[in-house]
Chains A and B, each alone.
Chain A
Amino acid sequence: MDYSIKIGGEAGQGIQTIGDTLARVFSKAGYYVFTHQDYESRIRGGHNFFQIRFSDKPVMASRDKIDILVALDKESIEQHEKELSEYGQIIYDSVTLKQQREKSYFLDIPFVNLAAEHGGNKIMANTVATGAVLGMLGMELDILLDIIKDTFKKKGEDIIKANINAAMAGHDYAVKECIKCSFSAAPISRPRMLIAGNDAIGLGAIASGCKFYAAYPMTPSTGIMEYVASKAKEYGIVIEQAEDEIAAINMTLGASFAGVRAMTGSSGGGFALMVEGLSLAAMTETPIVIALAQRPGPATGFPTRTEQAELQFALYTAHGEFPRVIFAPGTPEQAFYLTNKAFDIAEKYQIPVFILTDQYLADSQWTFDEFDSSKIKYTDYRLRGEAFEKLTEYKRHAFTDNGVSPLGVPGDAKHLVVTDSDEHDEEGHIVEDAETRIKMVNKRLFKKLPLIRKEIEPPSIYGHSNPEIVISGWGSTYGVMKEAVDELSANWDIAMLHFSEVYPLPSINKFNYLKILKDAKMTICIENNATGQFARLIRAETGYTFNRLINRFDGRPFTVESLIGEIDALIR
Chain B
Amino acid sequence: MPSLDDYKGQNPAWCPGCGNFSILKTFKDAVVELGIEPHQFTIVSGIGQAGKFPHYLKCNTFNGLHGRTLPVATGIRLSNHDMLVIAVAGDGDCYGEGGNHLMHTMRRNINVKLFVHDNQIYGLTKGQASPTSMATDKGGPVTKNQPFGVLSAELNPMALAVALDCSFVARGFAGDAEHLKGLIKDAINHKGFTLVDILQPCVTFNKINTYEWYRQRVYHMEPEYNPEDRIEAFKKALEWGDRIPIGIIYKNNRPIFEERIPVIKDIPLVRQPFDIARIGNTLKEFY
Report the Cα distance A417→B65, complex, angstroms: 17
Choose among B40, B54, B263 the residue with the greatest number of A CB atoms under 10 Å from its CB.
B263
Closest-CB distance, B237 to chain A (whole angstroms)? 23
Residue of B nearest to A195 (CB): B286
Q: A181 within 8 Å of B by Cβ?
A: no
CB atoms of B272 and A236 under 8 A apart? yes
Known: A195-B286, A260-B79, A410-B83. A250 touches B68 (CB 8 A): yes
B residues within 8 A CB of A237? Answer: 263
Could you say which of B63, B74, B263 contacts A251, with CB atoms under 8 Å apart?
B74
Alpha-carbon gap, A281 to B120, bound state (A): 30
Size band of the interface chain B makes with A: 35 or more
Does B179 sit at the interface, judged by CB under 8 A? Answer: no
Does A28 count as interface, using CB distance less than 8 angstroms? yes
Is residue A430 contacting chain B, with contact meaning CB distance below 8 A?
yes
For the complex, is B143 an interface residue (Cβ under 8 Å from A)? no
Q: Are B10 and A262 in contact (CB under 8 A)?
A: no
The listed residue with most A CB atoms (<10 A of its CB), out of B47, B61, B83, B283, is B61
| Contact status of A258 and B80, CB under 8 A, knowing A195-B286, A238-B269 | yes
B236 at the interface (CB under 8 A from A): no
Inter-chain CA distance A371–B59, complex, in Å, is: 44
Residue pair B62, A209 in contact (C-beta under 8 Å): no
Known contacts A280-B65, A416-B60, A417-B60, A409 near B270 by CB under 8 Å: yes
Instruction: Please tell me which stretch of B98-106, B149-157, B163-171 contacts chain A, meaning at least 4 of its Cβ atoms lie within 8 angstroms of it.
Output: B98-106
Q: Of B42, B52, B103, B270, which one neighbours A430 at CB under 8 angstroms?
A: B52
Interface status of B75 (Cβ within 8 A of chain A) = yes
Smallest Cβ distance from A490 to chain B, in angstroms? 34
Min C-beta distance of B156 to chain A, whole Å = 21
Q: In the complex, which residues of chain A have a beta carbon less than 8 angstroms from the beta carbon of B39?
A: 410-411, 413-416
- Of B64, B103, B262, B279, the residue contacting A376 (CB under 8 A) is B279
Whether a CB of chain A sits under 8 angstroms from the CB of B58 is yes
Interface of B is mostly: helix
Take A250-B65, A257-B62, A416-B58 as given contacts and tell me if A373 and B75 are in contact as well, using a CB distance cutoff of 8 Å: no
Q: A243-B104, A258-B83, A430-B55 are in contact. Are A411 and B73 (CB under 8 A)?
A: no
Please tell me if the beta carbons of B63 and A231 are within 8 angstroms of each other in the complex: no
Is B232 an interface residue when CB atoms closer than 8 A count as contact? no
Asked if B276 and A428 sit within 8 Å, CB to CB, the answer is no
Residues of chain B contacted by A416 (CB below 8 angstroms): 38-39, 58-61
Give residues 206-241 of B contacting A (CB, 8 Å). none
A211 touches B276 (CB 8 A): no
- Dominant SS among interface residues on chain A: mixed
Q: Are the C-beta atoms of B269 and A373 separated by less than 8 Å?
A: no
CA distance A196 to B60 in the complex (A): 41
B129 close to A (CB within 8 Å): no
- Once the chains are docked, how many angstroms separate the CA of A8 from the CA of B250? 57
The answer, yes or no, to whether B44 is at the interface (CB within 8 Å) is yes
- CB pair A258–B79 under 8 Å, yes or no, is yes
A206 to B269, Cβ gap below 8 A? no
Interface residue ranges of B60-107 to A (CB < 8 Å): 60-65, 68, 70-80, 82-83, 100-101, 103-104
Q: How far is the CA of A209 from the CA of B47 in the complex (A)?
A: 32
Task: List B contacts of A250 (CB < 8 A).
Answer: 64-65, 68, 71-72, 75
B280 in the interface, Cβ–Cβ < 8 Å? yes
A219-252 interface code vs B (CB 8 A; 1 in, 0 out): 0000000000001111111101011101110111
Which residues of chain A from 373 to 431 have any CB-CB distance to chain B below 8 Å in the complex?
373, 376, 378, 409-411, 413-422, 428-430
Say whether A428 contacts B61, CB under 8 Å: yes
Binary flags per residue of A91-107, CB closer than 8 Å to B gives 1, else 0:
00000000000000000
Instruction: Tell me, in angstroms, the Cα distance from A410 to B42 when the chains sit together.
Output: 8
Q: Which residues of A contact B77 (CB under 8 A)?
A: 254
A260 and B38 CA atoms in complex are apart in Å by: 21
Bound: A254/B42 CA distance, A: 11
The listed residue (A192, A277, A419) touching B62 by CB distance below 8 A is A419
1/0 per residue, CB under 8 A from A, across B240-281: the answer is 000000000000000000000111100001101010101110
Q: Is the CB of A207 within 8 A of B73?
A: no
Contacts A211-B272, A254-B76; is A233 near B286 (CB within 8 Å)? no
Contact of B72 with A253 in the complex, beta carbons under 8 Å: yes
Which A residue sits closest to B284, measured CB to CB?
A193
| Residues A411 and B83 in contact in the complex (CB < 8 Å), given A233-B262, A250-B75 | yes
A440 at interface by CB-CB < 8 Å: no
Q: For the complex, is A353 an interface residue (Cβ under 8 Å from B)? A: no
Contact B79 A238 (CB under 8 A): yes
How many Å lie between the Cα of A242 and that of B73 in the bound state?
13
In the complex, A212 has a CB within 8 A of chain B: yes
A14 in the interface (beta carbon within 8 A):
no
Q: 6 nearest interchain CB pairs?
A: A254-B75, A250-B71, A258-B79, A251-B75, A254-B72, A410-B60
Task: Show the binding face of B for A, using Cβ within 8 Å.
Answer: 10, 37-40, 42, 44, 47, 52, 54-55, 58-65, 68, 70-80, 82-83, 100-101, 103-104, 261-264, 269-270, 272, 274, 276, 278-280, 282-283, 286-287
Identify 13 residue pairs between A and B in the complex whose beta-carbon atoms are under 8 Å apart, listed by A's number. A207-B279, A238-B263, A246-B68, A251-B74, A251-B75, A254-B44, A254-B78, A258-B80, A259-B80, A260-B79, A370-B283, A410-B39, A430-B52
8 extra interchain contacts, Cβ-Cβ under 8 A, other than A211-B274, A233-B263, A418-B55?
A238-B264, A242-B104, A243-B100, A243-B101, A251-B78, A255-B75, A262-B75, A373-B279
